Amino acid sequence: MDYIPTVPRAEELVDRAFRQAAKIEVRPKSARRDTQAKIDSAISYIESRLSKVVKTFPTFEQLHPFYRELFDLMFGIDNVRKRLGAVQWAHDGIHRLRSTSSRRLSAGEDPDRVRRMVYGRTVSIIDDIADDLLRLDEIRRKMKKAPVIDPDAPILVICGYPNVGKSTLMRRISTGEPEVAHYPFTTKEIHIGHLELPTFRLQVIDTPGLFDRPVEEMNLIERQGIAALRHIADAGIVVMDPTEMCGYLWEKQVHLLDLLREWFTIPLLILENKADSDLFVQRLEGSVPLSADRASEGEIAALVDRIVGLVPAPPMPEWMPPKDL
């Protein structure tokens, strides 16, 4: 979302427009023509900046459902539309001042009086949308911080309570250093890594910030934030700690697992971590017992094979002959 340009502040917009127009000299013999040129210069600058604000914000209907739901939760899409509508209103109102000034100058009104009328009305219109411009720039900055995810590529989401070993597992199965991104509803981060497979690249998302408090304490917004992931996840790993050394009772972890099965319709692989502990007892049938931090390369490779079996490979692109054939 980094293609959205900075939204100008009201004072900056007016100041730059009038300073640009001030460069045009008004000569006594051509006062009406020069005044119109001065007015046109200021109006053109403001029109251009306001039009850019409206046109460069994304069309939310065309966004992937993940980003659409994410942004709706972050700042309310209807709120953005309303503010963009106010900017468009200001653009149209200032545009009409061009013909108003031309008509008054042609009627013989004093050029300086016409210019002052246009400038005064312009300042008034821009003042009316000053808060909209401020809020839109805040929204732009938030959009830039949204997780950069390719929703069309396969995605594996790692879920579970804090301290169960999600981040360790992420590092073990991902290639390279995971990217850090901020996710709404939490001051913490998600980590985005990649698993290079023979035929495709799998995106891996670790979500520690979304599960840093018991599920029963999550508010509606937090639960909706988790639900937004359902739009992109192709498979999930639920990491659990049967030793309870993570600080959460097994019953609470099972409750989270039940909720995840309600929230997601994707295949879920259950991993019971800390298998090297003397306290470890495998509690769920069909789960994968593992010690994420001490597992051998062979055990990690076997886990990756299980993951590959869950995730549908992306369709292969149609073969196209070289242009010189």
Mind listing the pLDDT tens digit for each residue in 150-191? 877 899 999 888 889 988 999 899 876 667 676 666 656 678
| pLDDT in the model for residue 241 | 96
Between 214 and 77, whose confidence is greater? 77
pLDDT value of residue 325: 46
The sheet carrying 235-240 orders its strands as 175-182, 189-196, 201-206, 155-159, 235-240, 268-272, 288-289
Query: Hey, what are 134's tokens?
Result: 């401020």
Of residues 218 and 142, more confidently modeled: 142
Q: Copy the structure tokens of residue 147.
A: 């997780």
Window from 17-26, 58-67, 126-135, 243-252 with minimum mean pLDDT: 58-67
Q: For residue 225, what pLDDT is reported? A: 65
What is the CB-side half-sphere exposure of residue 80 using CA atoms within 13 A?
A: 24
Regarding pTM above 0.85, the answer is no
Q: Provide the pLDDT for residue 322.
A: 55
Q: How confident is the model at residue 264 (pLDDT cuts 50, 70, 90)?
A: confident
User: What is the rounded CA–CA span in Å between residue 131 and residue 319?
Assistant: 52
Note the helical H segments in the chain. Answer: 10-21, 31-56, 65-75, 77-106, 111-128, 130-144, 166-173, 220-228, 250-263, 297-310
Mean pLDDT of the chain: 88
| Segment 62-73, tens digit of pLDDT | 888 888 888 888
C-alpha 21, offset from chain centre: 38
Domains and CATH numbers, the chain: 10-144 (1.20.120.1190), 155-310 (3.40.50.300)
What pLDDT sits at residue 116?
A: 97
Question: Which token pair is 315?
Answer: 């369709």
